[in-house]
Amino acid sequence: MKEYYHGVRVKEEGSDTASPVVGTAGLQVILGTAPINLVENPALAVNTPVSCQTFQEAQEKLGYSDDFESYTLCQSMYACFKAFAVAPVVFINVLDPAKHKKENTAKEYAVINGQVFPEENGILKKSVVIQNGEETLAEDTDYLLAFDSKGMLVITMISEKAAALTTVKVSSDSIAPELVTADDIIGGYDAATGKETGLEVIRQVYPRTGMAPGLLLAPGWSHNPDVAAVMITKCEGINGVFMAECVLDLDTAVVRKYTDVESYKEENGYTDPHAIVVWPKTMAESLQIYYSAIYGAMTAYRDAENDDVPNISPSNLLARVTAAVLEDGTEVFMDRQQASMLNGIGVVTLLYEAGWRAWGNNTSAYPATKELKDRWICCRRMFSWVANSLIVTYQEKVDSPANYRLIESICDSENIRLNSYVSAGKLAGGRIEYNEEENSVENVLNGQVIFHIYIAVFTPAEDIVFVLKFDPSLLEESLTGTGGAS
């Protein structure tokens, strides 16, 4: 008999996540795998940019699971929406149910109170077949399919015929995240179909969302040197014009001591100014999370809190994690001297100082480069951001008549914009110049107008030194009373 309610009842719900702060200066574009079997149409969530503003939206569009090893995008969902509450975030799932799936063995299950509970993970709803002997039951007529809070399939019998059964035979397919490889993350372009996959999909982010990528991440994959190498190449020339930075993990299964970091970093080519290299991994609420996921969310959050300008270094900020660990769970405790040694070879690490903090200001190009804009993370990110902002801001001027009014308009508006950042303390200085010598009549007739932008970014106060000295004259003044003390 169907349950009948009469009276007053109370049902509890889980707490909502905090409303995210919004910013696009550090727009994260994150590649990996998600439990897309949980969404209504899994095929629509494959190799396409999925922009999300909240955890609920990410869960609805991509699915969510605490199995971070299998579903790597969920690490960033946790970091962005639960640990730091920052949005928007763009996810690119490469797990393809048409390619990465397995057939489950058909099994007999008991019908318990009108429900059946298959044991397999990752079941694809459309693959489910339920039989009573030779008879095949019909979905939405005899039964309904839904997932519980742990992502397990629940079959609910709704027809009298089905509800009366004691056992049924269930066959299905499941997604197989273990079949996803580094090649799927790297992806490529199929000339025959015109389809882009993996890292090639980054090209679609701006055309689809109107937002330029700020940080490229692939937690769970970027520790693979082959993936890291391609991620670095994708930081420049996005859509032919945009620039971004990437956050790369080092493999903590291989690099187990801080003294091993330098040789591994150099041997595997982690030496690019657009690359931010992090080590080791982290723990949060008993969940092991790649540091890149935490660092990306923390950096984007810092930008959003700073008027959506990336001029402040994320170093020395609380990472909102509970431990620094290796792949096997071994905890890592470094003192400031050891952590600073990693900073000196272009690696960002974690340091416990009244809580776990990000520690490091240098891109992976350091110490090979001393160029300020390429050495400091905050300077490199500001240069990329200013460049991207110029492209987006003045796109509307393209194809306007190349006359004095256009030149004056661009110079005036850009000087006003740069001065506003200077007055707000975001830049030390900035100006735009138009040089007539550089803009010959021939160039202008060919449609090209050149401007020069000059900016100075505040570097981080990384090394604050107090010189402490014993001054005998102060002692003499105290003892003789000549210093004004009695």
In tens, the pLDDT along 303-358 reads: 999 999 999 999 999 999 999 999 999 999 999 999 999 999 999 999 999 999 99
Q: What are 89-116's pLDDT values in tens digits?
A: 999 999 999 999 999 999 999 999 999 9
Same domain, 202 and 289: yes
Q: Are residues 198 and 319 in the same domain?
A: yes
Indicate whether 26 belongs to any domain: yes
* Confidence class for position 481, pLDDT limits 50, 70, 90: confident
Please check whether residue 391 lies inside any domain of the structure. no
Confidence of residue 241 (pLDDT cuts 50, 70, 90): very high
Q: Does 229 share its domain with 263?
A: yes
Pairing of strands 242-243, 236-238: antiparallel
Mark whether 199 and 258 lie in a shared domain: yes
**Which has the higher per-residue pLDDT, 148 or 16?**
148
Residues 127 and 206 in one domain: no
Do 150 and 260 fall within a single domain?
A: no
Cα dihedral: 188, 190, 193, 197 (round 10): -10
Residues 195 and 315 both lie in one domain: yes
For residue 24, what is the DSSP state?
S
Domain boundaries, position 160: 101-175
Q: Does some domain include residue 300?
A: yes
Q: Which amino acid is at 346?
A: G
Count of CB atoms within 10 A of residue 416's CB? 9
- φ, ψ at 274 (rounded to 5°): -85, 0
- Give the CATH number of the domain where residue 216 resides: 3.40.50
| Domain assignment of residue 238, yes or no | yes
Using the predicted structure, report yes or no on whether residue 365 has a pLDDT greater than 90: yes
Label residues 140-151 b or e (16+ Cβ within 10 Å = b): eebbebebeeeb
| pLDDT band with cut points at 50, 70 and 90 for residue 486 | very low
Domain contains 380: no
Domain-ending residue, one of 159, 175, 191: 175
Q: Give the range among 161-165, 311-315, 444-448, 478-482 with minimum mean pLDDT.
A: 478-482
Mean pLDDT of 226-242: 98
Q: Is 390 among the domain residues?
A: no
State which of 319, 354, 372 marks the end of a domain: 372
The amino acid that residue 187 corresponds to is G
Q: How many domains does the chain fold into?
A: 3
In a shared domain, residues 89 and 218 = yes
Q: pLDDT tens digits for 47-78?
A: 999 999 999 999 999 999 999 999 999 999 99
Tell whether 330 and 423 lie within a shared domain: no
Instruction: Tell me: do 78 and 144 sit in the same domain.
Output: no
Residues 6+ apart with CB under 8 A from 118: 104, 107, 109, 152, 153, 155, 170, 172
Query: Do 41 and 190 share a domain, yes or no?
Result: yes
The predicted pLDDT at position 163 comes to: 92
φ, ψ of residue 133 in degrees (nearest 5) = 65, -120
Q: Which of 175, 208, 223 is the last residue before a domain boundary?
A: 175
Element housing 360 (H / E) = none
DSSP state of 139: B
CA distances to 108, 150, 198, 362 from 230, in Å: 47, 34, 11, 21
Q: Do 147 and 193 sit in the same domain of this protein?
A: no
Query: Which amino acid makes up residue 23?
Result: G
- How many residues does the structure list for the chain? 486
Q: Is the pLDDT of residue 249 over 90?
A: yes
